[in-house]
Structure 1
């Protein structure tokens, strides 16, 4: 299996290969590289697609120590180094988008463009922090039991056909692994005021049914990025890239074509 030894972690990734532009994608909270399988299938002919598991998720071997999304951004850059890629289109969904923004702020010369899916530049409101802290407490105490996992799956995926698969994944992982990834999510800072530092082209795609990050926040993100146009709206909830991959892939493909001109 493909792993990269990065900062004490064994970062798992997949790489389609090919001669197209490199597109590296990071998943959302509680997801992993598999969430991008439908989009990757649509983009293989247009790009070399790399997807990777962040600390605490998927197949990545995580040391369990505290980290921030700035650390995750360095993980992404180190993975590009491991692959011998100098510049890439960097993207992600939700948490993965938080990481992509920090990659662009950390190493703008490495980023050809940004693909930002159902994400934002901000942080939790006080109300959101309180609600999610309680969810974290329950998860660490009892694990993803039905009365917790079901609503969380609906919040993220909103597709009952897919819920059992992802809930099964959550239940196979030690519940203790939830703690540090959640801490990174809950304590992230608002980088809205730094968006003007990001000059590369950017694509913002958002599910019209996303209740985890409302559409208005995606509009604020796009408005703050000098290289972004209007938000591309697609049907779907927070994980629209998983549940409605065709229009998401179409938007990404068009964006990549514009970058190549």
Structure 2
């Protein structure tokens, strides 16, 4: 069965969701990074949907999902995931999220362990950036709107990708920039509020699900050291380093997919 993509009515609003793969297969839900939509996972769909019932969605504030007044908190973003699973009658799933999506996964691992079979946290951290930097970005977005979104898009490649990839894949880089520029500034700002407020460093030791921490070898945003710090706190967790910067699933899709599928097969 393929639903690609459509509006899914949940108790927390109407979310833009895609479902691919065998409906009887184990469920795997993917959560996008800040400033992207579920399309960021396009390179992984074919490989993941072979073995899993694959669910992708636009995070609140992004794409075709609800843009409700901010500020958001990660309890909101985590409860959105649970509402999507409930609407699809999925009791337990593996969860894979990147950057903001990975932090949502950490929240779920702490607060909804009964819903997770496995957790993959990619290019993320238990505390991402500084509260001041996120608050300043949110304020600029609320003041300048679409013009500030365009400015963020113009500066995004160096945060997202290594220089060699930027030179080799200009069409993909431009597509990602254009997608960022089109997002709702208030939805993006409300997610910045969530990132400013959230610090899970003292909580992630409670995560019981089998956990993989994927890091980009030259990620300047969430570093290999961030992944290693989480590994030191999460019992039994593993780290996989892939040759990429921040959006590692796009820059090193084969290595990323191999790391995730190998982990899930063992988990």
Q: Same fold (TM over 0.5)?
A: yes
Partner of residue 14, structure 1: 18
The secondary structure found in structure 1 opposite 2:250 is: helix
| Among candidates 44, 47, 53, match of residue 48 of structure 1 | 53
Partner of residue 64, structure 2: 59
For residues 187 and 233 of structure 1, what CA distance do their matches in structure 2 show? 27
Does structure 1 retain, via aligned residues, the 8 Å contact 2:220–2:245? yes
Q: Is residue 179 of structure 2 the alignment partner of residue 193 of structure 1?
A: no
For residues 86 and 137 of structure 2, what CA distance do their matches in structure 1 show? 36
For residues 175 and 87 of structure 1, what CA distance do their matches in structure 2 show? 33
Q: Is residue 154 of structure 2 the alignment partner of residue 150 of structure 1?
A: yes
> Within 5 Å, which residues of 2 pair with 1:161-172?
161=170, 162-172=172-182
Unaligned runs of 5+ in 2: none
| Among candidates 119, 123, 128, match of residue 114 of structure 1 | 119
TM-score (norm 2): 0.87
Change (3 A) 1:113 1:132: same
Change (3 A) 1:209 1:107: same
Deviations 1:203-245 (A, max 9, x none): 111110100111101111112111312x111011110012211
For residues 8 and 257 of structure 1, what CA distance do their matches in structure 2 show? 32
Q: Report the CA distance between 1:132 and its aligned residue.
A: 4.1
Change (3 A) 1:166 1:84: same
Change (3 A) 1:8 1:21: closer
For residues 241 and 248 of structure 2, what CA distance do their matches in structure 1 show? 10
Partner of residue 243, structure 1: 251
Deviations 1:41-63 (A, max 9, x none): 22221222111111111221322
For residues 145 and 198 of structure 1, what CA distance do their matches in structure 2 show? 38
| Among candidates 234, 257, 260, match of residue 265 of structure 2 | 257
Q: Report the CA distance between 1:195 and its aligned residue.
A: 1.8
Q: Report the CA distance between 1:149 and its aligned residue.
A: 2.4
The secondary structure found in structure 2 opposite 1:238 is: coil
Partner of residue 28, structure 2: 23
Change (3 A) 1:157 1:58: farther
* Count of aligned positions: 253
Q: Is residue 214 of structure 2 the alignment partner of residue 205 of structure 1?
A: yes
RMSD (Å), alpha carbons? 1.9
Deviations 1:52-89 (A, max 9, x none): 11111122132234321111111101111111111111
Partner of residue 190, structure 2: 180
Does structure 2 retain, via aligned residues, the 8 Å contact 1:14–1:52? yes
For residues 157 and 32 of structure 1, what CA distance do their matches in structure 2 show? 17
TM-score (norm 1): 0.89
Does structure 2 retain, via aligned residues, the 8 Å contact 1:150–1:163? no
The farther-off stretch of 217-226 and 162-171 is 162-171
